Amino acid sequence: MDLIESWTGHVMRIVVVAVAVHFLSCTECSSTGCSYSNSTVVRCVNRNLTTVPTWIPSNAISIDLSENPFLQLQKDSFAKFTVLKYLSIRRCSLNQPLELPNSLSSIDLGYNSFSMENVAATFKSRPESYITSINLEGNQLKLDGNLSVFPKSVEYLQLGGNMLSKIEAGDFDTFLNLNNLSIGGNGIRNVASGAFDKLKQLTEIHLHDNKIRDFPKGIFQHNQKLSDVHFENNRLTSIPDFSGITQLNRLFLQRNQIKTAAVGSRVGLLSISYIELASNKIQSFNFSGLKYMTMDLSNNRISSIE
């Protein structure tokens, strides 16, 4: 009986200690204003952090440290997170290379102060990594001729708001798994013929807010899975050639300089469900042959509709 009571008391002490440790972790979390759910998802957005909190468990799978402009990272800041899948460090004024966990599959580094040297050093040791999503928008990176620094495994690549003035043939040839490419707001003027030929998995492309006047004929003929296209706020004078595409669903062309919208005669647009053509210079349009579609033609120069 004494043995049973002694063993029971020992178990109770273990349980009490375990609960106390968990309570301590949650208390530390609350003191910083961070959220901490399921022991693996940590969110510390805009908390004036200067370092990565030591209470974050090593088995965390998602960490968001965005909007902490005084955050200082050491070389091994993320070394203990051996199963980390998602990491966001947006708007933290970072300007040094990072050492990333091998388990990482998605990283958001938008709106920092990275240089191309920082980016190259961050991904250099992991050219065959399994990172599938990279967001580096708003870093003012000089991307011309430097796109090969990103892992070949990437499926989602967000490079908007940087400095890419042109797209050469071969720039994206190594990204065979890429399905979402976002390079809006870069000041792009020219797109070379064949620039997207190797992107067989591409479903969505964002080239909005650039300075593109036209695209080469058949520029997307090898991108048969392309579904969403964003070309708004460029200098296009006509609707681009979408021949070869069978799954195009939504097309955004607002705020360009298009004068004639001959949509119905365009191969590749016959099955489209939505097209945005607002704020152009359209005087006439032809949508014969189209079955079901929503079209926005507001703020144009249309004088009559047949």
The predicted-structure confidence for 149-162, as pLDDT tens digits, reads as follows: 999 999 999 999 99
Decide if 198 is inside a domain: no
DSSP letter (8 states) at residue 305: -
Q: What is the pLDDT of residue 233?
A: 98
Same-domain check for residues 28 and 132: no
Counted domains in the chain? 2
pLDDT at 24: 38
Which range of residues forms the domain containing residue 11?
Answer: 1-32
Residues of the chain with pLDDT under 50: 1-25
58 and 82 share one domain: yes
User: Which letter, b or e, does each residue of 217-249 get, where b requires 16 or more Cβ atoms within 10 Å of its Cβ?
Assistant: eebbbbbeebbbbbbbbbebebbbbbebbeebe
Among 163, 194, 220, the domain-final residue is: 163
pLDDT digits (tens, 9 = 90+) for 10-33: 433 433 333 333 433 456 665 678
Indicate the DSSP class of residue 201.
T
- Whether residue 299 contacts residue 278, with contact meaning beta carbons closer than 8 Å, is answered with yes
Residue 34 CA neighbour count, 13 Å, CB half: 28
Q: What's the DSSP call for residue 296?
A: E
Quick one: CA torsion of 71, 75, 76, 82, rounded to 10 degrees? 90
pLDDT at 70 (0 to 100): 95
Contact 159, 141 (CB under 8 A): yes
pTM, rounded to two decimals: 0.87
Are 156 and 41 within one domain?
A: yes
Closest CA to 248 of 225, 264, 219: 225
How much is the pLDDT for 146?
95
- Considering the domain architecture, whether residues 51 and 134 belong to the same structural domain is answered as yes
Whether 95 is covered by a domain: the verdict is yes
pLDDT at 18: 36
Judgement on whether residues 64 and 112 belong to the same structural domain of the protein: yes
